[in-house]
Amino acid sequence: MSDVDPVQVQPPKSPVLRIRDLRKTFPGTRALDRIDFDLDRGEVHALVGQNGSGKSTLIKVLAGYHRPDPGAVIELAGRRIEIQDTAASRAAGLRFVHQDLGLVETLNTVENLALGRGLRTRFAGRIDWKAERRDAQQRMNALGYDCDVRRPVSQLAAAERTGIAIARALDHWEDARILVVDEPTASLPRHEVRTLFEALDRVRSQGLGVIYVSHRLDEVFTIADRVTVLRDGRRVGTFPTSQLDENRLVTLIAGSETMRPSHARPYAGEPGIVLDVRGLRGLVVDNVDLVARRGEVLGIAGLTGSGREEALPLIFGAASRGGSVSVEGAPLGASVEAAMNAGMGFVPANRHTDGSITTLSVRENCTLTDLKSLSGRALRLQRSTERSEVCEWINTLDVRPPKPDALFATLSGGNQQKIVLAKWLRRNPRVLLLDEPTQGVDVQAKATIHALARDVADRGSAVVIASSDDAELCGTCDRIIVLRDGRIAGEATGPAMTLEQIARLQLAAA
């Protein structure tokens, strides 16, 4: 008879997914570098890391959206597979629930579950609504949800909407092996998270492996069996959750890097508050107060879903807001026109859809924000004056090619961003808002944009930069506020303005 306590005997692990030496290279960037990853049957395996760590790229490789570099080994249930496209990913048994859920809110649960596969029909091609409702109810009940499947999705609780996305992903349980959920609680009220976790427990009880991507570390410790940490496209390590605490996990995620601004020079002009925001509210942002002073570059940091993405559009009036915004003591109406009249400029995160008209020329994009100053008698646009001014900006910002009549869409990302920035700089803004200002630009353009931000501040304006790149903020800003769950989690300045401190504030570590 064995002297081993049978209660302590663990069943052998049975990997459903095995990844070895996974690499993914984009032009000029190694997004994933020698990633190893295992997922067991019936396991919830958390994938964590800061923005840009490689989590999204890894998920897109598994989804068939990106192809890995040659040499990667991906095995599913012990069999090597090639994921060439999204169809191959689904055929292999991989299922995904993305952060935006992909639901049509005007449709009900039955109709959303049928998206992609169609509805059952019976006599003369008529839809069998009774069978569809019964099937939808059974599928929702199997995940622990008891909602009215006939109600429009817009009328359901956030947790129920997430449940619909999970049920749709697992349309045929017998074909699914892995469920990937990406930031599933980003839009969930805290009290509804438990409902989601109960649903995921039911999924793993069916023997599926679950990859759980989240920035909320308290949830990782609640739901996950193991944690894999990525940083800068590399795997830091994989750890049983029971062997970690929140402080240790934050250190693994952030590393021990420190980065402080190299300028560290005080503004020599008159001090004072230029931008004063009180009780700012939006879809995520909740009662945020902030000020930006003359000569200051203020940073706004925060993980995806923290409210960082909507903070600057709210301040500028580009999104419906609550609260108040003042520039040099004068309250502003909640509109773009009021913000511009007060001397505010805004470079949005998406320059293609929100910051430019790509079918127009460089010259036309550069002068869009202020045609009045280029107009002569009878408000006729002075083309020669316009061309001369645009050429000056092209030379100042080193835009390539230096052609004012070139189509904006033909420029590289970095040169496009310079023109988007120039159209606000030519107005001499008192407040300049920069949302992800160096996203998708090359190193040289990034340096130019950072220098321009400092130059605007040095001339007495206030500059506010919202960015998912914490290193960018630490290297450019005088002060950084960190948003978490729509509120200010803390502030960093001086010696405390390090990547590690920003990560701790973002991740809610003690």
> From the CB of residue 286, how many other CB atoms can be counted at a distance below 10 Å?
17
- pLDDT band with cut points at 50, 70 and 90 for residue 147: confident
Candidate from 251-255, 310-314, 343-347, 448-452 with smallest mean pLDDT: 251-255
Q: Which of 74, 63, 66, 65 is nearest to 96 (CA)?
A: 63
Contact 416, 259 (CB under 8 A): no
C-alpha 302/C-alpha 258 separation (Å) is: 18
What is the pLDDT at residue 116? 66
Scan for tokens 């003359």, then name that residue.
294
Question: Residues 452, 310: one domain?
Answer: yes
What is the pLDDT at residue 11? 41
Question: Residues 164, 61: one domain?
Answer: yes
Q: What is the pTM assigned to this prediction? A: 0.69
Scan for tokens 């189509």, then name that residue.
407
Q: Which of 250, 233, 215, 290 is nearest to 498 (CA)?
A: 250
Question: Residues 219, 324: one domain?
Answer: no
C-alpha 282/C-alpha 295 separation (Å) is: 28
Question: Residues 394, 436: one domain?
Answer: yes
| 262 in a structural domain | no
Phi, then psi, of 234 in degrees rounded to 5: -120, 155
pLDDT for residue 475 is more than 50: yes
Among 227, 254, 281, which residue terminates a domain?
254
- pLDDT band with cut points at 50, 70 and 90 for residue 377: low
| 112 in a structural domain | yes
| 2 in a structural domain | no
Q: How far is CA 332 from CA 68, 143, 317, 337, 354, in A?
A: 50, 48, 9, 10, 22
What is the pLDDT at residue 155? 87
3-state percent breakdown (helix, strand, coil) of the chain, nearest 5: 35, 25, 40
pLDDT for residue 228 is more than 70: yes
What CATH number does the domain containing 117 carry? 3.40.50.300
Give the 3-state secondary structure of residue 59: helix
Question: Residues 283, 244: one domain?
Answer: no
Question: Residues 218, 328: one domain?
Answer: no
pLDDT for residue 347 is more than 50: yes
Task: Read off the pLDDT of residues 91-127 as tens digits, 9 standing for 90 and up.
Answer: 898 988 877 778 888 888 888 888 767 777 777 778 8
Q: How many CA atoms lie within 13 A of 50 on its CB side?
A: 24
Please list the alpha-helical segments (H only) found in 350-469: 362-366, 383-397, 413-425, 443-458
| 18 in a structural domain | yes
pLDDT for residue 456 is more than 90: yes
Task: Read off the pLDDT of residues 12-24 as tens digits, 9 standing for 90 and up.
Answer: 466 899 999 999 9
C-alpha 338/C-alpha 356 separation (Å) is: 20
| 4 in a structural domain | no
DSSP per position, 220-278: HHHH-SEEEEEETTEEEEEEEGGG--HHHHHHHHHTT-----S------S---EEEEEE
Which residues have C-beta within 8 Å of that of residue 340, sequence separation ≥ 6?
369, 427
Question: Residues 245, 302: one domain?
Answer: no
Question: Residues 298, 179: one domain?
Answer: no
Question: Residues 180, 140: one domain?
Answer: yes
| 328 in a structural domain | yes
Mean per-residue pLDDT for 323-348? 96
Structure tokens belonging to residue 347: 């470079």
DSSP per position, 410-431: GS-HHHHHHHHHHHHHTT--SE
Which residues have C-beta within 8 Å of that of residue 102, sequence separation ≥ 6?
165
Task: Share the mean pLDDT of the chain.
Answer: 86
Contact 112, 135 (CB under 8 A): no
What is the pLDDT at residue 189? 65
Return the percentage of the chain with pLDDT > 90, whole number. Answer: 47
Structure tokens belonging to residue 66: 């990106």
Contact 397, 424 (CB under 8 A): no
One-letter identity of residue 412: S
- pLDDT band with cut points at 50, 70 and 90 for residue 148: confident
Triad 481, 487, 493: Cα angle to 5°:
15
Question: Residues 442, 387: one domain?
Answer: yes
pLDDT for residue 8 is more than 60: no
Task: Read off the pLDDT of residues 246-266 as tens digits, 9 standing for 90 and up.
Answer: 888 888 887 765 444 444 455
| 3 in a structural domain | no
Task: Indicate the DSSP class of residue 67.
Answer: P
Instruction: Tell me which residue range forms the domain holding 19.
Output: 11-254
Task: Read off the pLDDT of residues 348-372 as tens digits, 9 standing for 90 and up.
Answer: 998 888 999 999 999 999 998 887 7
Question: Residues 203, 119: one domain?
Answer: yes
Question: Residues 189, 299: one domain?
Answer: no
What is the 3 state secondary structure string of 302-333? CCCCCCHHHHHHHHHCCCCCEEEEEECCEECC
Q: Mutual orientation of helices 158-169 and 193-205 as an angle, nearest 10°?
A: 20
Please give the tally of structural domains in the chain: 2
| 150 in a structural domain | yes
What is the pLDDT at residue 269? 66
Among 226, 254, 282, which residue terminates a domain?
254
